[in-house]
Structure 1
Amino acid sequence: MTARAARATEAARTARATEAARVNGTAGRPRAGAAARVLAAAQAVAAVVVLARLARGRRRLPPLAAPVPDTSPGSGPAAWIGRDGSPGGGSPEISVVIPARDEERRLGPCLRAVLADPAVTEVIVVDDESSDGTARLAAAYGATVMRGCPLPDGWVGKQWALHQGLRRARGEIVVTLDADTRPCPGLFGALAAALADHDLVSAGPRFVCDGLAEQALHASFLATLVYRFGPIGPPAPPPPHRVVANGQCLAFRREAMRRADGFARVRGHMTDDVALARTLAADGWRVGFLDAGGLLEVDMHESAAEVWREWGRSLPLRDVTRPAWQAADLAVVWLAAALPALRLAAGRPTRLDLALLAVRVLLTAALRRSYARPGAGVALSFLLDPATAVRLTQATLRPVRTWRSRAYHPGRPYLPGRRDRADRAVPAAFADAVRCGARPAPPARNAAR
């Protein structure tokens, strides 16, 4: 056979194959390879994981609610009963500790709300070497201002401030608040009542997000937390290495936390709240992460850029999560949230992608309750899921360890409940805190109590 005849024969065979493909409807459709099948199987596993976690929301613990005052004859003004009839609320002394570093612009609304609550016995603002008027503002409102000592080596600033504030607190119950929180009446009584069933209570707030872009990006980040850990208020506690908490509002018994030496044990962690909760859970503490959206609001950020920079920095939980779990969590976010949105944008979603997008829409409806003024940003947040996945991956691979003009050295890997020789220096730190912290006379508002 001549070369020309061979080429003609091959061309005819190719033409017949093309015609057959056209007839069968497979022309231009790439043959699924092994990689595509593996990706599809991995996405299916991620979908099952997400659905299982979301299903826990049907049996969540009830949200925190303000205790109902007992108006029966003979009851004192500070006597409260919970909605279930159990004692709780305003009877125990409650100390509120607020760590503050350069918080002059945000601290005022928090202090106004805390100082107006009759359940609170004392308010302590730990001024963490602020360069602005934080201390003056706190004193003007009537809070007890504690001058923080210089930051020791190996400590992150917030833990050091809380560590000092705990030593100053006198109340049976201590509530720690961030300066950007906005407590509502009844929060502190509800937290005190919740400590009847828990040793550490973390409150999930309602977020204040102004602007379409800020709200959309924030809601996208929030959705990744639900995909990785499920809704807050799980009926059964997760294993210690999967416990999460919100350090913007924590409540615990003062003496129990002193004995546990909690803040010192997580002194080097940037993700301090989750590190504390996991360490104490490993010790056997009952840790509760409860919905407090009706009693607490938080205005965390001022722009979408700040959400991207600051919340995106902490949400990977890199310094409190083992590498295998970090990889698994990122895989869930990419496969169950980012990939469906990317394929939808490309106009080639699979049936599983469409199912996952439907789940995401349902989650979006639930997330509206997490915002003080939900708008179109929450509804459109799924469009930013690919960008959120990129930010979480970036922060996991290249973590940032700076905060409020301070740079911190890389922390140790998280191990629940670990103590080491450095903890022996803690009693000396207590003494330093007592000597360094100023002890002004109590303001008239606190002295009256």
Structure 2
Amino acid sequence: MRILNTLQAAAAVAVAVRLARGRRRLPPLAAPRTPAPTTTARVSVVIPARDEEERLGPCLAAALADPAVTEVVVVDDESRDGTAKLAAGLGARVVAGTPPPEGWVGKQWAVQQGIEAAENEVVVTLDADARPAPGLFGALAAALEEYDLVSVGPRFVCEGVAEQALHASFLTTLVYRFGPIGPSAPPAPHRAVANGQCLAFRRTAMLDADGFARVRGNMADDVALARTLAGGGWAVGFLDGGGLLEVDMHDSAGGVWREWGRSLSLRDVTTPGWQAADLAVVWLAAALPVLRLAAGRPTRLDLGLLTVRFLLAGALRGSYTRPGPGVLLSPLLDPVAALRLTQATLRPVRHWRGRVYPASTTDVRPGRDREGAFLDPDGARPEGVTRGGRTSRPDRNAAR
């Protein structure tokens, strides 16, 4: 018991240090107030879509209506429904996606095709469940003055007490492992995180770096991309974009469990040591206090951790479009979230949207050679990546 309490104290310190970063967060992403060269960039929006007929409409309508967007490219990833017809009917340019080559996960291959088809230098990729607000694309273009790759954290559309509670509990596992969104100082590349529902970058730089090809086999493609490019010298920003972006990810608590739970562990982009450390923090600092409270035997540290957790639940209300009692009740589901995180770590999912990927595809972790250059999953140095890990991308000012 003494050893367990000591480990719990260490986990509590780790969580406290990470939460403290929230006191120095960068300001949320905001729409530009006045037209300026940095906010009037012509933006291409790329949306990979596979069987998204039911969710694509609002995303497309908002993107097409934004004055900063001059084209929306929908890559129809072999959909079996009316995705392509809907996209074309609303005014998007539809690219008929081809089957992913061997070693590629479908989303990365669809995004790669969309980037190649895009006409503008500034590219923003969106998932079909994204709901951009006016000003998002101008704000992202402006952010590219400071960063090479930008992703944003949205507000979530969650209906129902159970769905919201489970979602908020899952979200807490990310905060406990990586800290709040928008840190003022960038994390080490191997701890960088990103949200693949919305990414912004310069087309030439991404193609030169062959970014999506370098993470072609990762199921957690967004975090893999951020960590690989950050390790190669890119300035990667993960900003709070809740005022300009909403996402409607799931339609039930079961959907949260199945769909978000499959990628929550970030298993294929995290070393075994960090996986164990992350699991320990979640179990000791979040799940254990609830379990001990339920058993009627909480320690003082348990009560302190529960207090912190309920305070965090209050802070997380701002992450939801219509926060309800589910967010405040979410600490009670922390043991369930820890269980799902453990399950996803030990038994990673290797299928998505009707496609099954081999085990080797999801166990790829970008590495370095002896000279420090980042390597492809097959051990080759990607084209456009020099020794030392730097990309041979063009000068950022010249690209403008």
Question: Is the 8 Å Cα contact of residues 53 and 230 (structure 1) preserved in structure 2?
Answer: yes
C-alpha distance in 2 between matches for 1:126 and 1:67: 29
Displacement of 1:422 after TM fit?
Answer: 8.2
Residues 12-411 of structure 1 mapped to structure 2, 5 A cutoff: 36-69=1-34, 80-81=35-36, 87-90=37-40, 92-410=41-359, 411=361
C-alpha distance in 2 between matches for 1:171 and 1:363: 41
Partner SS, residue 222 of structure 1: helix
C-alpha distance in 2 between matches for 1:202 and 1:425: 23
C-alpha distance in 2 between matches for 1:368 and 1:178: 23
Displacement of 1:419 after TM fit?
Answer: 2.5
Partner SS, residue 380 of structure 1: helix
How has the CA–CA distance of structure 1 residues 420 and 55 changed in structure 2, closer, same or farther, with 3 Å as cutoff? closer
Residue 413 of structure 1 aligns with which residue? Answer: 364
TM-score, normalization: structure 1?
Answer: 0.82
Displacement of 1:421 after TM fit?
Answer: 5.9
Displacement of 1:424 after TM fit?
Answer: 9.2
Question: Is the 8 Å Cα contact of residues 209 and 382 (structure 2) preserved in structure 1?
Answer: no
How has the CA–CA distance of structure 1 residues 394 and 205 changed in structure 2, closer, same or farther, with 3 Å as cutoff? same
Displacement of 1:425 after TM fit?
Answer: 10
How has the CA–CA distance of structure 1 residues 341 and 326 changed in structure 2, closer, same or farther, with 3 Å as cutoff? same
C-alpha distance in 1 between matches for 2:85 and 2:133: 24
Q: Percent identity?
A: 73
CA RMSD of aligned residues (A): 1.4
C-alpha distance in 1 between matches for 2:61 and 2:92: 10
C-alpha distance in 1 between matches for 2:189 and 2:379: 23
Question: Is the 8 Å Cα contact of residues 135 and 145 (structure 1) preserved in structure 2?
Answer: yes
How has the CA–CA distance of structure 1 residues 243 and 425 changed in structure 2, closer, same or farther, with 3 Å as cutoff? closer
Task: Provide Cα deviations, 1:244-303, integer angstroms capped at 9, x if missing partner.
Answer: 000000000110001000011100000000000000001100000000000000000011
C-alpha distance in 2 between matches for 1:293 and 1:147: 32
Task: Provide Cα deviations, 1:74-102, integer angstroms capped at 9, x if missing partner.
Answer: xxxxxx24xxxxx5212x21100000000
Question: Is the 8 Å Cα contact of residues 364 and 377 (structure 2) preserved in structure 1?
Answer: no
TM-score, normalization: structure 2?
Answer: 0.92
Amino acid corresponding to residue 13 of structure 2 in structure 1: V
Specify every segment of 5 or more residues in structure 2 that has no aligned partner in the other structure, as ranges.
368-373, 385-400
Question: Is the 8 Å Cα contact of residues 152 and 199 (structure 2) preserved in structure 1?
Answer: yes
How has the CA–CA distance of structure 1 residues 196 and 401 changed in structure 2, closer, same or farther, with 3 Å as cutoff? same
Partner SS, residue 69 of structure 2: coil
C-alpha distance in 2 between matches for 1:234 and 1:341: 28
Residue 391 of structure 2 aligns with which residue? Answer: none
Specify every segment of 5 or more residues in structure 1 that has no aligned partner in the other structure, as ranges.
1-35, 70-79, 82-86, 428-449
State the number of aligned residues.
376
